[in-house]
Amino acid sequence: MTQSYSVAVIGLGSMGMGAALSCINAGLTTYGVDLNPVALEQLNKAGAAATGTDAKAYAADVDAVMLLVVNAKQVNTILFDLGLAAALKPGTAVMVSATISADDAKAIETKLNEHQLLMLDAPVSGGAAKAAAGEMTIMASGSEQAFAKLQPVLDATSAKTYNIGTEIGLGATVKIIHQLLAGVHIAAGAEAMAMAAKAGIPLDTMYDVVTNAAGNSWMFENRMKHVVNGDYTPTSMVDIFVKDMGLVADTAKSLNFPSPLASTAYNMYLNASNAGYGHQADAAVIKTFSGITLPGDEA
């Protein structure tokens, strides 16, 4: 089946590029779509069937579309404002892998249904390295037909795909709850490392202790390395967590559910963004603590 199966991956950021490369490595005919010419060239060299800035160019040729863009606005712009949904063949499966609200996911499904397209509400996690290895975690909801149509893509890109149920929006909600943890873990890690800096503890030592002890988390280990190295080159920006923790807050409000830790973390990311760190790595939330010297500050 995979020999004649084609997919367009739209959004070639750190996760999207990894997913597209994994599709190529799995033998899928893979098209790449992004506005960044460097990303397009990278995917071309890796063996993409074609790359470009307009997904409609490949609409007649693909069995599936994977959208790995930032937010619901971008999903809607690509599918409906720019006309991709109207150009796709009926029965094409659209895998929406942005982190969006359940309500947005349901609204997108309604509009895709008008074009006789299948939707999988399928947020992803795992970071750039796991995406590149084809080992993302996918938390998905949708019809049996959508899962079946996208099976080659799921096999190529994920180590684990969770079928949350048939209702669109369930996948989105699981991802939002996951992001509650991810966002709090980064914020808590930043607080701990800032306290270590204030106490005069070498941050590489503090990092080494935590990553070999019970207080460690995946996010601490991955993100606080940025702090130790004084390198805030983003694979995930502060502003991504402003968005995601905002979705956590909105979801909690809709459920009439308190979220005290998430609310505090949300304000920490907002504070960091407001201070001008929005486009730096999300670990830059540590820079809002005053009275400390961090690696790289001396430069």
Alpha-carbon gap, residue 216 to 221, rounded angstroms: 7
Question: Distance of CA 291 to CAs 159, 196, 197, Å?
Answer: 43, 12, 9
Look up residue 8 and give its DSSP letter: E
Q: Are 159 and 130 in contact (CB under 8 A)?
A: yes
* Angle (CA) 218 26 85, round 5°: 90
Q: Are 296 and 233 in contact (CB under 8 A)?
A: no
Alpha-carbon gap, residue 284 to 190, rounded angstroms: 8
HSE-up (13 A, CA, CB side) for residue 237: 13
Closest CA to 21 of 3, 35, 4, 7: 7
Which are the catalytic amino acids? 175
